[in-house]
Structure 1
Amino acid sequence: MKGTKTPDSLHKKEQGENIEVWADVVKIKDLMLAMVITTVVALVAYFIAPSEAPMPLIFGLVGALIGFIISSILIQPKRQFKEIEREEG
């Protein structure tokens, strides 16, 4: 049948939306969103920091950490684990 999607074609489409990063598979859209959130929060924190020597660095690092936390909350993991019971013996 023309136009119907088989499970294999759905799996291939899903693979096309993912990339491998550090031996894990992530969606490109989610990765880019997390990068934008973290970068924006870190830069805002850096620019509002007092201009004394270590403060911009500290504010930028804390901003990056806050951006990471926000990204972790907004972008939920897509990974699913299935537990299979084994027979002992």
Structure 2
Amino acid sequence: MSIKDQNKDVENIEVWEDLVHIRDLVICLVICSLTTLGGYLIAPNEPPTPLIVGLIGAVVGFILCSIIIKPKRTFRYEEEK
């Protein structure tokens, strides 16, 4: 294993059998937490409005994260011999 490969391993952690860049994971967690909590807090206090607005905030956070963080996965096709 080269030094470059070792540095990649340090920057990545395994989540659900996939490697994730730590910085990107933290950014996405912060964005989704802020949009979900923000939606919950600005909603009127009449049930189930806070739950619905909080869930909408989570979806908005997911969409923002999918736009901001680009996938880094590369696929290689190898022919069977």
TM-score, length-scaled by structure 2: 0.92
Which of 76, 79, 84 is the equivalent residue of 2:78?
Answer: 84
- Structure 1 residues not aligned, in runs of 5+: 1-6
Do residues 56 (structure 1) and 64 (structure 2) align?
no
Percent identity over paired residues: 47
- Counterparts of 1:24 and 1:69 in 2: how far apart (Å)? 20
Match of 1:16 in 2: 10
Kindly state the Cα deviation for residue 85 of structure 1 after the two structures are TM-superposed: 3.7
Between structure 1 and structure 2, the one with the greater Rg is: 1
1:68 CA drift (Å): 0.8
Task: Tell me how far 1:86 sits from its aligned partner.
Answer: 4.4
d(CA) in 2 for partners of 1:85, 1:18? 29
Instruction: Tell me whether 1:42 sits opposite 2:36 in the alignment.
Output: yes
What amino acid is aligned across from residue 21 of structure 1 in structure 2? V
- Give the superposed CA RMSD: 1.3
CA deviations over 1:37-72 (Å, ceiling 9, x no partner): 000011111111111010001100110111011101
Deviations along 1:18-46, whole A, 9 cap, x unmatched?
Answer: 00000100011000000000000111111
Equivalent position of 2:67 in the other structure = 73
User: Which structure has greater helix proportion?
Assistant: 2
